[in-house]
Amino acid sequence: MADTSTDAVAPASVWVQLYYDNNEKSGEPFEIEPIPKNVGALKKDVIKDYPNTLSHADAAVLKVYAPDTTVPIPNDTHSLRPGEKVVKYSTTDRKPIIVIAPKPREQQNGKLRCCLRIHCCIQTRSNTEILCNYVIS
C-alpha cells in the first residue's frame, strides 16, 4: 500500500550566505547537510566548512540572521539566539540564512601582517640600565 500521508517532510539541508562586517559578500551561498540542531551548532559548522576564509574568527563572534533579512542589517534587527532551532527556517540558495563575520585583519602583499614589539629594561650589577626595543614584523 502506498504512503498517502500529507505530513510535510523536514528539509535535509540549510543554505547559508556569508558576509563580512555586515555588507561585503564572501562567495556564493553554500549548503550545510544535515541541518544543525540550533544556531550555535550552525556557527560551528560555518567555521568548520571555511577554515581558511574564517581562520581569524571564532564561532562566538558570528552573527546569524533569518533568511529574509536585508543586508546591510538594519540597526533594529536582532540576530538569532544560539539555542534557536535552525530547522524552522525554510532556505534556498536564493533565500539563505545570513551569517555576518568580522572582516579579516589588514593584509599586505596578499599575506596577513603580524607585528610584535618587545620592550625591555635590564639593570646590571653595576646599576647600569640597558634599554632594548625590538620590532618584529
**Domains in the chain: boundaries:** 14-105
pLDDT tens per residue, the chain (137 residues)? 555 555 556 678 999 999 998 688 989 999 999 999 999 999 999 999 988 889 899 999 999 999 999 999 999 999 999 999 999 999 999 999 999 999 887 654 555 555 556 656 666 676 666 666 655 54
In terms of Cβ atoms closer than 10 Å to its own Cβ (0-12, 13-18, 19+), residue 11 is middle
> What kind of architecture, by CATH, is found in domain 14-105?
Roll (3.10)
Structural contact between residues 36 and 14, judged by C-beta atoms closer than 8 angstroms: yes
| C-alpha cell belonging to residue 125 | 650589577
> Using CA atoms, how far apart are residues 11 and 53, in angstroms rounded to an integer?
27
The reported pTM is 0.70
